[in-house]
Amino acid sequence: MWRSRRTARSALQQLTTIAVTLLGLLVMTFIIGRMMPVDPVAAIVGEDATRDVYENVYRKLGLDRPVWQQFLFYLRDVATLDFGVSIRTGQPVLNDILHVLPATIELATFAIIIGAGLGAPLGVMAAVNKDRWPDHVIRVFSLMGHSMPIFWTGMIGLLVFYAGLGWVGGSGRMATFYIGLVPERTGFLFIDSAMAGEWDVFWSALNHVILPAALLGYSSAAYITRMTRSFMLDQLNQEYITTARVKGLSSRKTIWRHAFGNIRVQLVTIVALAYGSLLEGAVLIETVFAWPGFGQYLTSNLIIGDMNAVMTCVLVVGLIFITLNLISDLLYRVFDPRTRAS
């Protein structure tokens, strides 16, 4: 009985935290929007509008009101999902973002699979061989990935694997002559091409995603490796590991079935957070690979100073981060028997 009440209270606490974070997020995007050097009125009416038109729009945008009222207007707009129109495309910003997001999600998902698939086993290996040469090699290898300027690695990768060796596709999500061939239903190229039965497009997409995803994954592997290593070291000193050894389990089974089993939940949390920070790398690598995703949308709007688009992009990233935090927290509750209410 008291247990459920406690659960309810912690849920309430968490909701408050989320609400406060969200509000902070909105304040931040609002401030960034206010600071933008671009005149929002001129952006709408054009440079050579008459003074009357200008004044009219100025009032319509609420720019004559005090700042706190403007903020309330902004909250109202956000609540009704009205993020304004992009100056560059003339489309509602939200539509634009929803249109480009799948490309980034596809890239980031491949990247996190590679990053976790590389980082977790390496971390385990480093922990098992602590302070011996595999540990040192893995440490340098993973820190290397973390230290590379991803935009530069992307270029060198293109130079070597595309221009030099021809192993992978070049820029973009698929070869140019496939563009427009597959009807866009979900926006996820792999799903769309599979649904349309266009397997050539599917392979082309795979050929194109593999290099940026591998580089992005490698850069995130350092964090996953380091955390896996430190989690594993904690577990390997536990007494239940001795129990497993006493039972006659081989060290391989002890490590993977018992120790790794116990860090799975923590690992999921770390991977979820790493997924969020992949978005960061995506901004840079999308520029290099001409990947028509969220990162490219954001940077191209930054450069021309499209206020609505930039504010909304920052908001979306913030939302994704909050959601990922929430999901990792939930996964923790669901998968760990100790936190699960019986």
Partner 1 sequence: MTAATQPRRMPQSLIALRNILAFLMRSPTSAFGLVVLAILILTAIFAPLLATHDPYVQDLQNTLQRPGNGHLFGTDELGRDIYSRLVYGSRITLTIIFLVTIVVGPIGLLVGTVSGYFGGWWDTVLMRITDIFLSFPSLILSLAFVAALGPSLNNAIIAISLTAWPPIARLARAETLTFRAADYISAARLQGASATRIIWKSIMPMCLPSVMIRLTLNMATVILTAAGLGFLGLGAQPPLPEWGAMIATGRRYMIDHWWLVTFPGLAILAVSLAFNLLGDGLRDALDPKQMNKR
Partner 2 sequence: MTDPILDIRNLSVRYRGTPDPAVRGVSFTLGRERLGIVGESGSGKSTVGRALLKLLPTAEITAERMQFEEVDLLNAPERRMLKLRGRRMSMILQDPKFSLNPIQRCGHQIAEAYRTHVRASKAEAKAKAVEMLAAVQIRDPERVYMLYPHEVSGGMGQRIMIAMMLLTDPDLVIADEPTSALDVTVRLQVLNILDALVRDHGIGLIMISHDLNLVRNFCDRVLIMYAGQVVETLDAADLDHATHPYTRGLLAAQPRIGGDRSALPVLERDASWAQTGATT
- Interacting residues toward partner 1 by CB under 8 A: 20-21, 24-25, 28-29, 32-33, 35-37, 136, 139-140, 143-144, 146-153, 155-156, 158-159, 163, 223, 227, 230, 276-277, 279-280, 283-284, 287-288, 298-299, 302-303, 305, 310-311, 313-314, 317-318, 321-322, 325
Selection from 102, 291, 300 nearest residue 215 by Cα: 291
Smallest separation (angstroms) from partner 1 to the CB of 160: 10
246 is in the binding site of which of partner 1, partner 2, none (Cβ under 5 to 8 A by kind)? partner 2
Smallest separation (angstroms) from partner 2 to the CB of 312: 42
**Distance from C-alpha of 58 to C-alpha of 40, rounded to nearest angstrom:** 9
Among 90, 166, 197, 248, binds partner 2 (CB under 8 A): 248
**Distance from C-alpha of 310 to C-alpha of 79, rounded to nearest angstrom:** 18
270: tokens are 């770390």
Residue nearer to partner 2 on the CB measure, 26 or 265: 265
18: tokens are 């989320």
175 is in the binding site of which of partner 1, partner 2, none (Cβ under 5 to 8 A by kind)? none
**Distance from C-alpha of 20 to C-alpha of 16, rounded to nearest angstrom:** 6
Residue nearer to partner 2 on the CB measure, 268 or 316: 268
**Distance from C-alpha of 281 to C-alpha of 231, rounded to nearest angstrom:** 25
Cβ contacts of 113 within 8 Å, gap of 6 or more: 213, 217
Question: Does 238 interact with partner 2 (rule: CB under 8 A)?
Answer: yes
262-291 positions binding partner 2, by CB under 8 A: 262, 265
**Distance from C-alpha of 213 to C-alpha of 273, rounded to nearest angstrom:** 17
Smallest separation (angstroms) from partner 1 to the CB of 250: 29
Question: Does 239 interact with partner 2 (rule: CB under 8 A)?
Answer: yes
Q: Any long-range contacts for 96-101 (C-beta under 8 Å, 24+ apart)?
A: 96/297, 96/309, 97/294, 97/297, 97/312, 97/313, 97/316, 98/187, 99/187, 100/292, 100/293, 100/294, 100/296, 100/297, 101/187, 101/293, 101/294, 101/316
Question: Does 341 interact with partner 2 (rule: CB under 8 A)?
Answer: no
Residue nearer to partner 2 on the CB measure, 35 or 246: 246
Question: Does 186 interact with partner 2 (rule: CB under 8 A)?
Answer: no
Smallest separation (angstroms) from partner 2 to the CB of 69: 53
Smallest separation (angstroms) from partner 2 to the CB of 247: 4
**Distance from C-alpha of 26 to C-alpha of 92, rounded to nearest angstrom:** 19
231: tokens are 């989690």
Q: How far is CA 198 from CA 129, 173, 179, 264, 291, in A?
A: 47, 15, 12, 37, 21
- Could you give phi then psi for residue 210, rounded to 5 degrees? -65, -40
Question: Does 331 interact with partner 2 (rule: CB under 8 A)?
Answer: no
Task: Tell me the CA end-to-end span of the chain in Å, nearest whole number.
Answer: 12
Smallest separation (angstroms) from partner 2 to the CB of 330: 17
Contact segment (CB under 8 A) with partner 2 among 117-125, 174-182, 223-231, 246-254 equals 246-254
Smallest separation (angstroms) from partner 1 to the CB of 303: 7
Question: Does 76 interact with partner 2 (rule: CB under 8 A)?
Answer: no
Smallest separation (angstroms) from partner 1 to the CB of 166: 13
Footprint of partner 2 (CB under 8 A) = 238-240, 242-250, 258, 261-262, 265, 336-338, 342
